[in-house]
Amino acid sequence: MSEAIRFLKPRAAVLARRATIVDDLLDLLPPECVVHEARELVPFETDAFVAYRRLPLAVVLPKTTEQVAAVMKYCHRYGVPVVPRGAGTSLSGGAIPQEDAVVIGLSKMTQIIEIDPANRTATVQAGVTNLSISDAVSPEGFFYAPDPSSQLACTIGGNIGMNSGGAHCLKYGVTTNNLLGVKMVLVDGTVIELGGKHLDAAGYDLLGLVCGSEGQLGIVTEATVRLIAKPEGARPVLFGFDTSEEAGACVADVIGSGIIPVAIEFMDKPAIEICEAFAQAGYPLDVGALLIVEVEGSEAEMEAMLKKIVEIAGRHGVRTVRESQSATEAALIWKGRKSAFGATGRISDYICMDGTVPLGKLSYVLEKTSEIVERFGLRVANVFHAGDGNMHPLILFNANDPEDAARAEEAGNEILKLCVDAGGCLTGEHGVGIEKRDLMRHQYSDADLNQQMAVRAAFDPGWILNPSKVFPLEGRPAA
């Protein structure tokens, strides 16, 4: 287990009252909604950022907004930290608890409240998984656009917390662009609603502020999301290049030419090999870099768009162009891409970075990333959303070797600084969590961060909501 990233020191007064707090939570909620036995707490000690773990004080699994409000009100009254948790798929440690914290888990809030085809909205409880929204609205001819690779497991509540993206966000935007409203519980237990089936805010855009706030401002219990009519057809096409540079330049050129496909995904050679071994998707193994470009629409539209893309790829020395010939092939191509992290996990431990860079800097950042990782004596596989410059270098290392793990973390930090220096951001869609918390000062000035923390304090002046996350522990305002 790594120790480089610190957590806040547990509040002694809270730890001392542990038994009372558990009893009180059992008074507030039905017994099946409170987890407090040490061995039953273990599944909640970490998320997908597995290098760090802390056993929480207790876990509650409420079924209703009212139950969340009751727990929140109680925790606020006694100064007990609260860590919200969706499906625990966070790659930045956003859902890792701390010893003095009550975890509010969303796993029992899985009700689809309303599907409204006339207004193209779905209203769901926050624990509903991302994919099950699309499944539920599919019979009406709609889908929910943001599609994180973990969409089978991750919840809409977690997506809102992290402003999650996915491969198809190039065309349709990320969570914040597809979220119309939330019901949420404020730190003192007050329930508010922001937005709804209408567009835009009456006053300040608090919905925009809440989306991506990583559980720092309140607990979202319900969400109303925008639905989109399913395209008539969609076709992923594989473009193989000799080098990452050629592939990167092709991406910038496609976007610059005014064509916006639904998705442009990038894989370098190590990633192609890992994913092909896992999914047998038919990825070419004799190329140095691969783009998966998806176009959608009618046959005629897809043909027209593909023709332009093939032409551009030709100017960048494309070696292989392969269109999927059937729905099964198309599904395999996406399966390979979306299981990239899982497939990597089968051959090695890894940490996944999430920086974004301007498109013109893709090739440069890829090259520098390789240099950095080599300097630390490690290997890297790159598989990411190229169309919006959202990089995901997977740094491979051996978790049983603490020095190796430390080197991987250091290399990761250097890569993220590289992204910021290239004009990008520390995180595209995974959030800051604990992972990038201490790099925030590299992206922001003290004044910038102080302003964010001041706004945070308008919601949670006592810093009890997910308090070890996002903002560096040093330099916080006194609670």
Contact 107, 100 (CB under 8 A): no
Quick note: the x/- pattern for another protein over 132-151, rule CB under 8 A, is --------xxx---------
Q: Compute the C-alpha angle 258/294/332, nearest 5°.
A: 165
Of 54, 64, 136, 208, which lies in the binding site for another protein, with binding defined by CB under 8 A?
208
Burial degree of 12 (CB within 10 A; 0-12, 13-18, 19+): exposed
Nearest to 470 by CA among 154, 65, 84: 84
Site for another protein in 170-189 (CB under 8 A): 173-174, 176-177, 186
Site for another protein in 65-124 (CB under 8 A): 116-121
Q: Which residues of 329-364 are buried (b: 16+ CB within 10 A; e: fewer)?
A: bbebbbebbbbbbebbbeebbbbbbbbbbebebbbe
Query: HSE of 347 in the Cβ direction (CA atoms, 13 Å)?
Result: 19
3-state secondary structure of 274: helix
Q: How far is the CB of 25 from another protein (least distance, A)?
A: 24
User: Which stretch in 18-26, 147-155, 270-278, 356-364 sits in contact with another protein by CB under 8 A?
Assistant: 356-364
Question: What is the total count of residues that contact another protein (CB under 8 A)?
Answer: 92
Q: How far apart are CA 223 and CA 184, in angstroms?
A: 9
305 binds another protein (CB under 8 A): yes
474 binds another protein (CB under 8 A): no
Q: How far apart are CA 22 and CA 387, in angstroms?
A: 48
Of 357, 366, 378, 405, which lies in the binding site for another protein, with binding defined by CB under 8 A?
357
128 binds another protein (CB under 8 A): no
Q: Between 402 and 461, whose beta carbon lies closer to another protein? A: 461
Of 301, 410, 414, 421, which lies in the binding site for another protein, with binding defined by CB under 8 A?
301
Site for another protein in 397-426 (CB under 8 A): 423-426
Q: Between 288 and 472, whose beta carbon lies closer to another protein? A: 472
Q: Token pair of 313, please? A: 């790829």
Q: How far is the CB of 155 from another protein (least distance, A)?
A: 19
Q: Between 33 and 419, whose beta carbon lies closer to another protein? A: 419
255 binds another protein (CB under 8 A): yes
